[in-house]
């Protein structure tokens, strides 16, 4: 099964077009988007994101998806939201799925030939305002004092402010708990699409070289050993670390990265995930 993967397109249609074109050239069986699908960052002049993001998916991305499916009928398209997406996009993703154009992998399991795809959008707490897909990382993480200047959830009427973000986190399932709910019956044939990268890897480095990935996810990978995990979230990590992939035991982990100027695309045949190509960083063979 041949897969093209990219992440963190944030509504840039040129990057979406490049991904669709690459899937056609590669004769891909699947095109996967790893989160942060929609445009926009909350600001005083941009408070309608809970409404504008679903509109982007249904009005701007939908025609592209239709075009790709018409040109490549066997191509399957999968996506998860990311932390910059509002939860209000979930009905829009469901609508696209009902049209046969895209399959939402968030908290879901899908079959791709002999392989199983599982997905999860949640990331550990960030300094950013949108909190729809943020969770405690480990179940026993202390959250006292965690607060940002603005903590908001996307709702049908707009943004709803979270008065006490720490209290909100305490009543939500942790990333650790959400991961434990993902079925992995055949690890050697399982691909996980998770917006957050695992902690302490080449995939989770900030510009200051601080690791900020998910500890829960790293533990889950080390314990469950899926074939391949695909990540995003930390745009600069491949540039900072000099690598876009590595091995954790039997698992190959990947962060495509993003800079908005050039497509950051991953090409991988699931029959041989140790050999991966990046549209910018080239081909690698992971030993």
Q: What is the CATH number of the domain that holds 235?
A: 3.60.21.10
Give the global pTM: 0.96
Q: How far apart are CA 8 and CA 193, in angstroms?
A: 13
pLDDT band at 287 (very low <50, low <70, confident <90, very high): confident
Q: Percent of the chain beyond pLDDT 70?
A: 96
Picking from 233, 250, 251, 246, the residue whose alpha carbon sits closest to that of residue 278 is 246
Exposure string of 190-206, with b = 16+ CB inside 10 Å and e = fewer, is bbbbbbbbbbebbbbbe
Our count of domains for the chain comes to 1
**Domain containing residue 110:** 2-285
**Are 226 and 191 a contacting pair, CB within 8 Å?**
yes
pLDDT per position as a tens digit, 94-149: 999 999 999 999 999 999 999 999 999 999 999 999 999 999 999 999 887 676 66
**175 Cβ contact partners less than 8 Å away, ≥ 6 residues apart:** 120, 122, 123, 124, 135, 136, 137, 138, 196, 214, 216, 217
Other residues' Cβ atoms within 10 Å of the Cβ of residue 74: 9
The helix/strand/coil state of 237 is: helix
β-bridge pairing 228-231 and 245-248: unpaired
Within its chain, how far is the Cα of 59 from the centroid?
22
**17 Cβ contact partners less than 8 Å away, ≥ 6 residues apart:** 64
């Amino acid at each position: 099964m041949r897969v093209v993967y990219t992440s963190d397109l944030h509504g840039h249609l040129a990057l979406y077009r490049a991904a669709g074109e690459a899937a056609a050239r590669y004769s891909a069986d699947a095109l996967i988007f790893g989160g942060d699908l929609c445009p926009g960052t909350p600001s005083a002049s941009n408070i309608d994101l809970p409404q504008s993001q679903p509109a982007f998916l249904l009005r701007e991305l939908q025609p592209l998806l239709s075009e790709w499916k018409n040109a490549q009928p066997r191509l399957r398209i999968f996506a998860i939201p990311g932390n910059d997406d509002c939860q209000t996009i979930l009905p829009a993703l469901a609508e696209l799925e009902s049209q046969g154009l895209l399959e939402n992998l968030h908290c879901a399991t899908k079959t791709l030939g002999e392989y199983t795809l599982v997905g999860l959008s949640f990331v550990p707490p960030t300094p950013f305002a949108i909190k729809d897909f943020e969770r405690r990382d480990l179940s026993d993480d202390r959250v006292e004092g965690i607060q940002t200047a603005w903590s908001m959830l996307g709702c049908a009427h707009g943004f709803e402010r979270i008065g006490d973000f720490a209290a909100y986190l305490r009543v939500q399932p942790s990333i650790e708990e959400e991961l434990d709910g993902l079925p992995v019956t055949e690890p050697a044939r399982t691909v996980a699409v998770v917006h957050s990268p695992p902690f302490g890897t080449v995939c989770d480095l900030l510009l200051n070289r601080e690791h900020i990935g998910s500890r829960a996810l790293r533990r889950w990978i080390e314990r469950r050993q899926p074939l391949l995990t695909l990540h995003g979230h930390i745009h600069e990590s491949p540039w900072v670390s000099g690598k876009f992939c590595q091995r954790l035991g039997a698992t190959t982990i990947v962060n495509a990265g993003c800079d908005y100027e050039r497509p950051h695309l991953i090409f991988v045949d699931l029959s041989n995930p140790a050999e991966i190509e990046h549209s910018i960083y080239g081909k690698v063979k992971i030993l």
